[in-house]
Amino acid sequence: MIVAMQESAKEEQIQLVIDRLVSLGFEVHRSTGARQTVLGGVGVPHDFDTREVEMMPGVQEVHRITSPYKLAGRNFRPEGTVVKFTNGIEIGGKKIVVMAGPCSVESKEQLFTVSELIAKAGARVLRGGAFKPRSSPYSFQGLGLDGLKLLREAGDRFKLLVISEVMEISQIELMLPYVDIFQVGARNMQNFNLLREAGKLTTPVMIKRGIAATIEELLLAAEYVMSGGNFDVMLCERGIRTFETATRNTMDVSAIPVVKKLSHLPMIGDPSHGTGRRDMVLPMARAAVAAGADGLIVEVHPDPDHAMSDGAQTLTPPQFTEMMQQVRAVAAAVGRSA
């Protein structure tokens, strides 16, 4: 960490900053120049907040030099993480993995119809929500345990892995027998209690970026899970909130190559939530793959206009089939397959 003192800082102010850094656990190096003094602190303690020093009298600026994440950093595994599943599917390898399915599990018929379709079209993972807390207390809240069982059944039948969102710690145990990947949703990206529990699991976890979260904060969420011992972490870009309203969110496609550079973790693109509009899913799915995504997650429903949630951003079966063809073409163009 670097603390630049103001040109006008007095010697006693400098001493107070040094004392404080030492008491915080830093080893301090002082460099006194003609105009200003710069202090270097080695060994940043956990959870150190640079603002604590920034507010001290005489301090001009503080910069945390060391990256706040280690396990999630590219250096930790320069060759990249590949999350491997027992059925041979790998996420983070050469093959781009497509996750698809309805926003919510609604019925066996709905789920099996869509599962068969996506499996045929080339998806390898079935997505579906079992718990759907909604903005109105009178709305459909998901099928819960029954939904999980249907997901597992459909996954087994059509040879698809199952991913579903965990919203509370209390759901983990319930979900454990049924899912292959736990999804931590955008709203829970900084739910540290939930991340800590996810870190104790051996089941892989996919963390979605919050709509107001920086890429660094996303990597810190991954660090949190990894520090608990679960290294099978995937990240997902699903749109951030900006001033633009033509799309529901602004899908930050550049987050994909940035994460791939900073981290070794697989990166998934979600063009359904990223745009919120069915008619923008295909071009943004292509863009995500072109930018280097290791996978995609999209919403598909046999009859999106009657989907119980998120219908507007959900693909029809023919649209999904077309998406898969396009994705395969773009994947080949960037030296991968899908």
Per the DSSP assignment, residues forming a β-bridge with 97 are 295
Q: Which two tokens stand for residue 14?
A: 């400098």
197 forms part of the interface with a second copy (CB under 8 A): no
Q: How far is the CB of 264 from a second copy (least distance, A)?
A: 14
Q: Give CA angle at 234 (262, 72), nearest 5°.
A: 35
Given the rule CB under 8 A, which of 118-126, 150-158, 173-181, 284-292 is the region that contacts a second copy? 284-292
Q: How far is the CB of 101 from a second copy (least distance, A)?
A: 19
Question: Distances in Å between the alpha carbon of 126 and those of 116, 122, 233, 263, 300?
Answer: 10, 11, 18, 26, 10
* Residues 288, 274: Cα–Cα separation, whole Å: 11
CA-closest candidate to residue 291, choices 243, 253, 327:
253
CA-closest candidate to residue 282, choices 318, 310, 323:
323
Question: Which residues, including other chains, have CB under 8 Å from residue 17's CB and lie 6 or more apart?
Answer: 3, 5, 39, 53, 56, 58, 59
* Residues 86, 55: Cα–Cα separation, whole Å: 52
Is the Cα dihedral 54, 218, 74, 326 positive or negative? negative
289 forms part of the interface with a second copy (CB under 8 A): yes
Q: How far is the CB of 52 from a second copy (least distance, A)?
A: 5
81/263 with CB nearer a second copy: 263
173 forms part of the interface with a second copy (CB under 8 A): no
Q: Which of residues 43-82 bind a second copy (CB under 8 A)?
A: 46-47, 49, 51-52, 54-56, 60-61, 63, 65, 67, 75
Q: Which two tokens stand for residue 132?
A: 């759907």
Q: Which of residues 252-271 bind a second copy (CB under 8 A)?
A: 252-258, 261-262
Q: Which of residues 300-329 bind a second copy (CB under 8 A)?
A: 305, 309-313, 326, 329
Given the rule CB under 8 A, which of 88-96, 144-152, 155-163, 282-290 is the region that contacts a second copy? 282-290
Which of 107, 196, 201, 203 binds a second copy (CB under 8 A)? It is: 196
Q: Which of residues 19-48 bind a second copy (CB under 8 A)?
A: 20, 29, 31, 33-36, 38, 40, 42, 46-47
Question: Which residues, including other chains, have CB under 8 Å from residue 45's CB and lie 6 or more apart?
Answer: 24, 25, 26
CA-closest candidate to residue 319, choices 289, 277, 266, 269:
277
Q: How far is the CB of 161 from a second copy (least distance, A)?
A: 26
One-letter amino acid for residue 221 of the chain? A
Contact in structure between 65 and 43 (CB atoms under 8 Å): no
Q: How far is the CB of 35 from a second copy (least distance, A)?
A: 7
Q: How far is the CB of 164 from a second copy (least distance, A)?
A: 16
136 forms part of the interface with a second copy (CB under 8 A): yes
155/274 with CB nearer a second copy: 274
247 forms part of the interface with a second copy (CB under 8 A): yes
Interaction pattern, residues 84-123, with a second copy; x per rule: CB under 8 A: ----------------------------------------
61/156 with CB nearer a second copy: 61
Q: How far is the CB of 313 from a second copy (least distance, A)?
A: 7
* Residues 287, 281: Cα–Cα separation, whole Å: 10
203/250 with CB nearer a second copy: 250
Q: Which of residues 116-135 bind a second copy (CB under 8 A)?
A: 133-135
